[in-house]
Structure 1
Amino acid sequence: MPEPAPVLIFILGDQLSPGIASLRDLSPADAVVLMAEVSEETVYVRHHPKKIALILSAMRHFAADLREQGWRVDYIELEDPANSGSFTGALAAAVERHRPSEIRIVQPGEWRVQQMIDGWEARFGLPVRILRDDRFLCSIPAFRRWASRRQALTMEYFYRDMRRQTGLLMDDGQPAGGRWNYDAENRKTPPRGLNYPAPARFPPDAITRAVLDLVARRFGDHFGALEPFALPVTRAQALAALDQFIAAALPDFGDYQDAMVEGQDQLYHSMLSPALNCGLLVAREVAEAAERAWREGRVPLNAAEGFIRQIIGWREYVRGVYWMHMPDYAEANALGADRPLPEFYWTGETDMRCLAAAVDVTRREGWSHHIQRLMVLGNFAMLAGVDPKAISDWFLVVYADAYEWVELPNVVGMSQYADGGLLGSKPYAAGGAYINRMSDHCGRCRFDVKAKTGPDACPFNALYWDFLARHEARFRDNPRMRTMYATWHRMKPAQQDAYRASAAAFLAGVKPAADGWARAPLSTGVD
């Protein structure tokens, strides 16, 4: 009697969670797990080498773990001679090999991958079961229902609903400590001499070393340093990194989460997002670990709340916005920005010390913390009028935690206001005073943060007022911006002209990046 046809479970490179829904309700005897390293995914943008290495190494370790648990794993490495180079090609070959009864996959994170999957049932003549990704706490239909009841998609109210739904930081139906949000306590400037905790780092094992050799050979011309490489690539390592963050960094995370300090890449940030976004960690366990530390008296409430808000509030919220508004969201450009991306986003060669520092850590680590991303890199691009597609592509390329579902709303919506206010009630625009308050960069910068105009003034100052002037018709009636416009209109015309002339003079000297840095097609090595 012939053996029954197996279920073919396709696990993607950002679904590396032991509890992933596609593995449930099946025994290893009933299924084949397909995993594929496909060249199409490594080059659709020119990803940072650390990101490619993280995903490939984590995939190979995950496959090894599945085999140890008894699963039959059909694993296609990037340089396998039969590698077709695409998800659909990998699946076609696996269907031919295994003659499955059905294909099972968890909903992908990105729109373009969903479009591939939608065509599989017709192509292969097999049932394709697309399962909800319940590693996220809010399903996409649930987010749509929440959004349909509101005139504005205010994240704070979504976050409160998520607190009620999960019970995190709740006491008898009320927010712990009597307040929902402790953000006002989370903007302290760190004093000199703080002893910042070292991040968890994991030396490469044999699997990772083989991946690093592969990435160096094939993607060595991509932006970013491949080594030293010390990211967690296994579930055990990711849990160890979580434990270290909770014990050593979370107690002070709240106070200083918006700070920038010369020579300190991590400060009190977790650096867990690369592991979380590829599935080595899941949102609920990360948030529960932070809550447990607060309830046990190991961290203050403002730290636990600020961190948990990022996990169950903002992260879930931007995913919901992404799936509600794709594919049009990727083309949003409400402010009509069309300036090319400056070359210094790739080279780091700028006298603006805050920008140079943010590009430098991004190149070395494939990571920088959220204030560098939002208030330095993103803020400059918005003030300068950089095309949101160009800056969005850059963010997708350079960060190890960047997947389109999380990157696009954060950049197009929050950072660039290119969605016209769907995601934020005002643009996150700031001049040099903000950067000076939250960092120690300005004291050592070639530009004078206190000077308002002229060739030696901090460019953020003139760019800020020029941005407001360019977009006054859009923003002058915004209740959160009336004070800024009142200040602008109290200025004498000569001062207004000086700001705008200084902004124009600075931007005229900014060299644009060469075409093709982000999305140039590369050789896949597949004939």
Structure 2
Amino acid sequence: MKLRLVLGDQLSPDISSLSDVDKGVDVIWMCEVRTEATYVKHHKKKIAFVFSAMRHFADDLRGQGHDVRYTTYDDPENAGSFLGEITRAIALTGADGVIVTAASEYRLTSRMETWDLGVPLEIRDDARFLCSTADFNAWASGRKQLRMEYFYREMRRKYGVLMQGDKPVGGQWNYDAENRKPPKQGLIVPATYTAVPDQITTDVMDLVAREFPDHFGDLAPFHFAVTRAQALDALDDFVAHRLPTFGDYQDAMVQGEPWMFHSHISFYINCGLLGALECITRAEHAYHTGDAPLNAVEGFIRQILGWREYIRGIYWLKMPDYKSANHLNATRALPSFYWDADTQMNCLRQCVTETKQNAYAHHIQRLMVLGNFALLAGIDPDAVNEWFLLVYADAYEWVELPNVTGMALFADGGVMSSKPYAASGAYINKMSDYCGSCRYKVTKKNGPDACPFNYLYWDFLTRNRDTLEGNPRMGLIYKSGARMSDEKHAAIADDSARFFKALDAGDKV
């Protein structure tokens, strides 16, 4: 008899650890363990989502005739760790072997490889991803630059997605240039999918409120999908109501509209309730039936078939050294407003507030507001990574770390991006309506009333000149800076020094 361990982000009957399960003999073991819930202080809503989805998945497996043993977080017998639980499970069941799919995070998989259980342990590859780590490593081998665009094209060819023979549908691989429209006046955003919590979910919410009272975030209202059927409904809802306009406004930010036209299915793909390929196929079908335009469908597919697979490949290619990367030697502590939203910068106040409420923010909020400020302010990558990992319900280290270290902070020195994603207040003003409600003036470049992003942008370039000036994509901007007067440079330095003094003192900035 084999013991089949299923982790909290492996909620798919197609997971490799269950591919040959013997219903009449094998035992499936699932457990809510303290080590995973608290290795960072995850958002309350994230813990509730994962625990509820796990409990629903266990019930689904039982309904299919499987012998499922499930340890809840508050079970007095809970050993508190996967190793402790598996050791206990072997003793209880008499299993002569353990089968598990490799964890998505290096931290846990490397720990699994050291387990001494007294019975054979088989760790299987996670076949849910569309590019295996071996295939990604082969693609990366010998390349001077690991650019996502070229990887994405290979994946399009491999899976025949949006292809006409060897050519991309529409004649272009990428329609990103059409996907950067700023929000217009009177833009109507369709409501996102919401599920009504059932008894299992409300029980989990009670547990989270009791066991994790000091964790970040709002627990209620809770309306995530927690079953496979609900996740499919969420996918259908996106395709029908938001995909047609997703392309145009995927980068737009609007105060009071945290969900915008995004799908919000990263929660469900990353934990296993949805498969990546089925989401891609569903969107491609919408294009072929005329229900969504090519720029929207291609942009959505690129995020899954291109970006998601690429990010995962980079993670496993570069770990464990990637976790300690700090190319720009950033050391500043994470400001308190990342937790309490107590800042006069309205863009940051909005993004942190919505993150606290929803355990979600879309990719431009994460990259160009929250990440951009961390980059410009020189915040320690370890602190930024921990924050991003714990506050978002779709965050696991394999997806969070490359996005933050590589994209947001340029801490990997250009492994992923050819230049830092640094921007002044002008970008935020173009892509959002945040600036109109801000105490600072986005059109002012210097002085106490100027948008801090404006002078911090140039201060960032000055601080990192020795590291960045030789970057061929940074040459023009450094030449522009060189044309500034001495008085302008002095004003930038003075404003930045004043801002950082207040920030480091804990004053409200």
TM-score > 0.5, shorter chain as reference: yes
Q: CA deviation at 1:112?
A: 1.1
How far, CA to CA, are the matches of 2:506 and 2:85 in structure 1?
Answer: 35
2:38 counterpart letter in structure 1 = V
Q: What are the superposed Cα offsets for residues 426-478 of structure 1, whole Å, 9 maximum, x if unpaired?
A: 00000000001101111121101011111100000000000011111222222
Distance change in 2, residues 1:313/1:107 (3 Å): same
8 Å CA contact 1:197–1:248 kept in 2: the answer is yes
Structure 1, unaligned runs of 5 or more: 1-5, 515-527
Residue 63 (structure 1) aligned to one of 55, 58, 66: 58
8 Å CA contact 1:334–1:420 kept in 2: the answer is yes
How far, CA to CA, are the matches of 1:373 and 1:286 in structure 2?
Answer: 23
1:82 aligns with 77
SS at match of 1:510: helix
How far, CA to CA, are the matches of 2:35 and 2:506 in structure 1?
Answer: 24
Q: CA deviation at 1:172?
A: 0.9
8 Å CA contact 1:344–1:513 kept in 2: the answer is no
1:97 and 2:92 are equivalent in the alignment: yes
How far, CA to CA, are the matches of 1:504 and 1:137 in structure 2?
Answer: 48
1:233 aligns with 226
Structure 2, unaligned runs of 5 or more: none
1:147 and 2:140 are equivalent in the alignment: yes
Q: What are the superposed Cα offsets for residues 46-79 of structure 1, whole Å, 9 maximum, x if unpaired?
A: 0000000000000000000000100001111111
How far, CA to CA, are the matches of 1:184 and 1:92 in structure 2?
Answer: 54
Residue 8 (structure 2) aligned to one of 13, 31, 42: 13
Q: CA deviation at 1:511?
A: 4.6
Distance change in 2, residues 1:67/1:513 (3 Å): farther
Residue 460 (structure 1) aligned to one of 453, 472, 478: 453
Q: CA deviation at 1:35?
A: 0.3
SS at match of 1:480: coil
Query: Identity over the aligned pairs, expressed in percent?
Result: 55
1:411 aligns with 404
How far, CA to CA, are the matches of 2:470 and 2:321 in structure 1?
Answer: 27
8 Å CA contact 2:376–2:457 kept in 1: the answer is yes
2:393 aligns with 400
Residue 274 (structure 1) aligned to one of 251, 255, 267: 267
1:103 counterpart letter in structure 2 = V
How far, CA to CA, are the matches of 1:90 and 1:203 in structure 2?
Answer: 32
How far, CA to CA, are the matches of 1:290 and 1:18 in structure 2?
Answer: 23
Q: What are the superposed Cα offsets for residues 228-254 of structure 1, whole Å, 9 maximum, x if unpaired?
A: 000000000000000000010000000
Q: CA deviation at 1:151?
A: 1.0
1:482 counterpart letter in structure 2 = G
1:34 aligns with 29
SS at match of 2:242: helix
Residue 208 (structure 2) aligned to one of 212, 215, 219: 215
Aligned residue runs from structure 1 range 423-434, under 5 A? 423-434=416-427
Q: CA deviation at 1:513?
A: 7.8
How far, CA to CA, are the matches of 2:213 and 2:238 in structure 1?
Answer: 31
Mean alpha-carbon deviation: is it higher for 125-134 or for 194-203?
Answer: 125-134
1:49 aligns with 44
Distance change in 2, residues 1:512/1:409 (3 Å): farther
1:38 counterpart letter in structure 2 = V
Q: CA deviation at 1:512?
A: 6.8
How far, CA to CA, are the matches of 2:186 and 2:504 in structure 1?
Answer: 38
Aligned residue runs from structure 1 range 461-500, under 5 A? 461-500=454-493
Residue 194 (structure 1) aligned to one of 177, 187, 200: 187
Residue 114 (structure 1) aligned to one of 109, 114, 130: 109
Residue 25 (structure 1) aligned to one of 20, 25, 34: 20
How far, CA to CA, are the matches of 2:284 and 2:166 in structure 1?
Answer: 16
SS at match of 2:428: helix
Q: CA deviation at 1:130?
A: 1.4
How far, CA to CA, are the matches of 2:503 and 2:465 in structure 1?
Answer: 24
How far, CA to CA, are the matches of 2:378 and 2:490 in structure 1?
Answer: 18
How far, CA to CA, are the matches of 1:215 and 1:376 in structure 2?
Answer: 30
1:517 aligns with none
8 Å CA contact 1:340–1:512 kept in 2: the answer is no
1:325 and 2:318 are equivalent in the alignment: yes
How far, CA to CA, are the matches of 2:214 and 2:230 in structure 1?
Answer: 29
SS at match of 1:145: helix
Aligned residue runs from structure 1 range 121-160, under 5 A? 123-160=116-153
When the two structures are superposed, what TM-score results if normalisation uses the length of structure 1? 0.95
Q: CA deviation at 1:31?
A: 1.1
Equivalent pairs counted in the alignment come to: 507
How far, CA to CA, are the matches of 1:501 and 1:259 in structure 2?
Answer: 32
Mean alpha-carbon deviation: is it higher for 158-167 or for 22-31?
Answer: 22-31
SS at match of 2:453: helix
Residue 258 (structure 2) aligned to one of 238, 259, 265: 265
Q: CA deviation at 1:145?
A: 0.6
8 Å CA contact 2:183–2:433 kept in 1: the answer is no
How far, CA to CA, are the matches of 1:513 and 1:490 in structure 2?
Answer: 35
2:153 counterpart letter in structure 1 = R
1:173 and 2:166 are equivalent in the alignment: yes
Q: What are the superposed Cα offsets for residues 471-508 of structure 1, whole Å, 9 maximum, x if unpaired?
A: 11222222221121111000011101111211111111
How far, CA to CA, are the matches of 2:282 and 2:505 in structure 1?
Answer: 44
1:389 and 2:350 are equivalent in the alignment: no
How far, CA to CA, are the matches of 2:146 and 2:120 in structure 1?
Answer: 36
2:296 aligns with 303
Mean alpha-carbon deviation: is it higher for 330-339 or for 96-105?
Answer: 96-105
How far, CA to CA, are the matches of 1:317 and 1:210 in structure 2?
Answer: 37
How far, CA to CA, are the matches of 1:156 and 1:128 in structure 2?
Answer: 38
2:286 aligns with 293
1:435 counterpart letter in structure 2 = I
How far, CA to CA, are the matches of 2:505 and 2:318 in structure 1?
Answer: 30
8 Å CA contact 1:340–1:513 kept in 2: the answer is no
Q: CA deviation at 1:331?
A: 0.8
Q: What are the superposed Cα offsets for residues 95-139 of structure 1, whole Å, 9 maximum, x if unpaired?
A: 11112222111111001111221022xx12322221111110000
8 Å CA contact 1:343–1:511 kept in 2: the answer is no
SS at match of 2:24: helix
1:315 aligns with 308
How far, CA to CA, are the matches of 1:504 and 1:18 in structure 2?
Answer: 55
Residue 72 (structure 1) aligned to one of 67, 81, 94: 67
Distance change in 2, residues 1:512/1:278 (3 Å): farther
SS at match of 2:503: coil
Residue 237 (structure 2) aligned to one of 232, 244, 252: 244
2:53 counterpart letter in structure 1 = A
